[in-house]
């Protein structure tokens, strides 16, 4: 499967040092083959590979991750991006009832979806109604009625015994009934064929024209593989649609269809169906689908953990330095710039008990001041930054001239630095931070 292929490809990268161009190219070739084998459409594969390659080549070598993890992270991020990033919500009409029409091949899961959506919408406080416009198969209306009963919503259907009705007429009358009975959402179930054919598409187009839906959802079986592209293209060019619903994700679908449909039609995937029961339904989560396509949930978790551990290490190292009184001016500048980025959090910090003095310091963190601090510190030699005690009068004059400030500014900064170092040391002792030497610092 795609997942297996990718796993083995990316496993090969593990343990190597730096990621070279050759590494990236070889990996890209393998991923390309794997995606094609998983029924992802060729143009989609091309776009995807190009993006991944570009990003892998331009990426800074991460300190937290090894090259293999880095590539996996990029592949995953690009997959999420193609699958749609954030999930889009249903478009509802300003003046109810909103009309949602379901279209797709026979057996895709439209009628089942009608029940699922109805139940889900009810749970959100809506009052949906179903309209049975599949008059093609004898039991299609009954099936929708059963589903409606389970979901606890009414079903509008043609009266039995009148022969085969006109689906367009039923759709129109259904909307009228919804208005009369004040349902705020109407779900229109339609007929499908095993393959795309003109009559079926004509009917869908006529229903769409008659009911002017706010959404046309293209319902597609995730198991149909390569055919997903052709079917989606036919529906896009025929009745047209505004969103996609993937069904049968409880099967062993490899996810290639999701990627193709999304990229080829440009329409977002809104929902995912994953079982026969009405509850087996959720809004579509691009991140979960990406992780399913990659089949590397464990590795993605590892990556997250590695990054978090790295951040924690950095923070601890900084705290250690602060607490041990070994803070240099370089660290000082870095801390100030970090605080500057934190903004409101810096204010919060100032409210901590025992951080009263720090509050005053934080209040002085205006931009111009920080720029000056930065200029002064940059005007120092590495030795001076490392050990500010050596900054005597002549050095202060040189630094002031070099960075375009007054000697008193340099004095201020150096004095404040020593104060801050003492204070941090004391605070570290009080809060029991690592590296602390107790209240005396």
List the single partner that 287 binds among ligand GDP, Mg ion, none, CB under 5 to 8 Å by kind.
Answer: none
Q: How far is the CB of 56 from Mg ion (least distance, A)?
A: 45
Of 66, 69, 98, 111, the one binding ligand GDP (CB under 6 A) is 111
CA gap 430, 424 in Å, rounded: 10
Q: How far is the CB of 110 from Mg ion (least distance, A)?
A: 5
Q: CB-side exposure of 172: number of CA atoms within 13 Å?
A: 8
Interaction of residue 111 with Mg ion, rule CB under 5 A: yes
Annotated binding site for GTP: 104-111, 189-193, 247-250
Q: How far is the CB of 104 from ligand GDP (least distance, A)?
A: 6
Going residue by residue from 357 to 386, which x/- string records binding to Mg ion, judged by CB under 5 A?
------------------------------
Of 76, 98, 112, 260, the one binding ligand GDP (CB under 6 A) is 112
Interaction of residue 242 with ligand GDP, rule CB under 6 A: no
Q: How far is the CB of 251 from ligand GDP (least distance, A)?
A: 6
- Residue found under tokens 């007054």: 406
Structure tokens at 413: 């900064």
Annotated binding site: 104-111, 189-193, 247-250
Task: Give the number of residues in contact with ligand GDP, rule: CB under 6 A.
Answer: 17
Of 119, 126, 208, 248, the one binding ligand GDP (CB under 6 A) is 248
Is 229:264 a contact under the CB 8 Å cutoff? yes
List the single partner that 403 binds among ligand GDP, Mg ion, none, CB under 5 to 8 Å by kind.
Answer: none
Q: How far is the CB of 39 from ligand GDP (least distance, A)?
A: 18
Interactions with ligand GDP, residue window 2-31 (CB under 6 A): none
Which three-class secondary structure string do you get for the chain? CHHHHHHHHHHHHCCCCCCCHHHHHHHHHHHHHHHHHCCCCHHHHHHHHHHHHHHHHHCCCCCCCCHHHHHHHHHHHHHHHHHCCCCCCCCCCCCCCEEEEEECCCCCCHHHHHHHHHHHHHHCCCCEEEEECCCCCCCHHHHHHHHHHHHCCCEECCCCCCCCCCHHHHHHHHHHHHHHCCCCEEEEECCCCCCCCHHHHHHHHHHHHHHCCCEEEEEEEHHHCCHHHHHHHHHHHCCCCCEEEEECCCCCCCCHHHHHHHHHHCCCEEEEECCCCCCCEEECCHHHHHHHHHCCHHHHHHHHHHHHHHHHHHHHHHHHHHHCCCCCHHHHHHHHHHHHHHCHHHHHHHCCCCCHHHHHHHHCCCHHHHHHHHHHHHCCCHHHHHCHHHCCHHHHHHHHHHHCCCHHHHHHHHHHHHHHHHHHHHHHHHHCCCCCCCCCC
Which of 224, 327 has the CB closer to ligand GDP? 224
Interaction of residue 197 with ligand GDP, rule CB under 6 A: no
Could you tell me which of 240, 165, 227, 172 has the C-alpha nearest to residue 201?
240
Interaction of residue 274 with ligand GDP, rule CB under 6 A: yes
Of 4, 149, 237, 276, the one binding ligand GDP (CB under 6 A) is 276
Interaction of residue 279 with ligand GDP, rule CB under 6 A: no
Task: Give the number of residues in contact with Mg ion, rule: CB under 5 A.
Answer: 2
Q: How far is the CB of 158 from Mg ion (least distance, A)?
A: 15
Interaction of residue 402 with ligand GDP, rule CB under 6 A: no
CA gap 234, 259 in Å, rounded: 17
Interaction of residue 250 with ligand GDP, rule CB under 6 A: yes
Contact region with ligand GDP (CB under 6 A), list: 236-244, 269-277, 303-311, 379-387: 269-277
Interaction of residue 213 with ligand GDP, rule CB under 6 A: no
Of 67, 84, 97, 109, the one binding ligand GDP (CB under 6 A) is 109
Interaction of residue 70 with Mg ion, rule CB under 5 A: no
Contact region with ligand GDP (CB under 6 A), list: 101-109, 179-187, 367-375, 419-427: 101-109
Structure tokens at 339: 């605080």
Interaction of residue 136 with ligand GDP, rule CB under 6 A: no
Of 1, 47, 62, 106, the one binding ligand GDP (CB under 6 A) is 106
Residues that bind Mg ion (CB under 5 A): 110-111
Residues that bind ligand GDP (CB under 6 A): 104, 106-112, 192, 247-248, 250, 273-276, 280
């Amino acid at each position: 499967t795609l997942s297996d292929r990718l796993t083995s490809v990316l496993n090969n990268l593990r343990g190597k040092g730096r990621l070279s161009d050759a590494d990236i190219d070889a990996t890209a070739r393998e991923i390309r083959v794997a995606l094609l084998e998983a029924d992802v459409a060729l143009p989609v594969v091309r776009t995807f590979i190009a993006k991944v390659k570009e990003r892998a080549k331009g990426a800074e070598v991460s300190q937290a991750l090894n090259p293999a993890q880095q590539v996996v992270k990029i592949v995953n991020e690009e997959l999420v991006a193609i699958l749609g990033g954030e999930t889009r919500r249903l478009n509802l009409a300003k003046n109810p009832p909103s009309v949602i029409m379901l279209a797709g091949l026979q057996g895709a899961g439209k009628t089942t979806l009608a029940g699922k959506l109805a139940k889900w919408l009810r749970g959100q406080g809506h009052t949906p109604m179903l309209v049975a416009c599949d008059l093609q198969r004898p039991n299609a209306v009954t099936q929708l009625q059963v589903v409606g009963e389970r979901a606890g919503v009414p079903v509008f259907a043609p009266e039995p015994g009148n022969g085969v009705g006109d689906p367009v007429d039923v759709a129109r009358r259904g909307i009228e009934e919804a208005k009369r009975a004040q349902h705020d959402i109407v779900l229109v179930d339609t007929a499908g064929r095993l393959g795309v054919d003109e009559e079926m598409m004509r009917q869908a187009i006529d229903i769409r024209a008659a009911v002017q839906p706010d959404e046309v959802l293209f319902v597609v079986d995730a198991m149909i593989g390569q055919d997903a592209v052709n079917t989606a293209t036919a529906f896009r060019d025929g009745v047209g649609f505004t969103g996609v619903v993937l069904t049968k994700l409880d099967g062993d679908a490899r996810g290639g269809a999701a990627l193709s449909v999304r990229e080829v039609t440009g329409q977002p995937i809104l929902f995912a169906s994953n079982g026969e029961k009405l509850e087996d339904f959720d809004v579509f989560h691009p991140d979960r689908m990406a992780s399913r396509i990659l089949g590397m949930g464990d590795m993605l978790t590892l990556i997250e953990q590695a990054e978090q551990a790295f951040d924690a290490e950095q923070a601890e190292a900084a705290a250690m330095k602060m607490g041990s009184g070994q803070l240099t001016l370089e660290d000082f500048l870095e801390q100030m710039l970090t605080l500057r980025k934190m903004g409101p959090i810096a204010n919060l910090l100032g409210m901590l008990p025992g951080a009263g003095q720090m509050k005053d310091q934080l209040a002085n963190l205006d931009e111009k001041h920080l720029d000056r601090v930065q200029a002064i510190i940059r005007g120092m030699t590495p030795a001076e930054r490392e050990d500010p005690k050596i900054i005597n009068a002549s050095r202060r004059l040189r630094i002031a001239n070099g960075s375009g400030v007054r000697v008193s500014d340099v004095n201020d900064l150096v004095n404040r630095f020593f104060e801050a170092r003492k204070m941090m040391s004391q605070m570290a002792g009080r809060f029991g931070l690592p590296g602390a030497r107790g209240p005396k610092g």
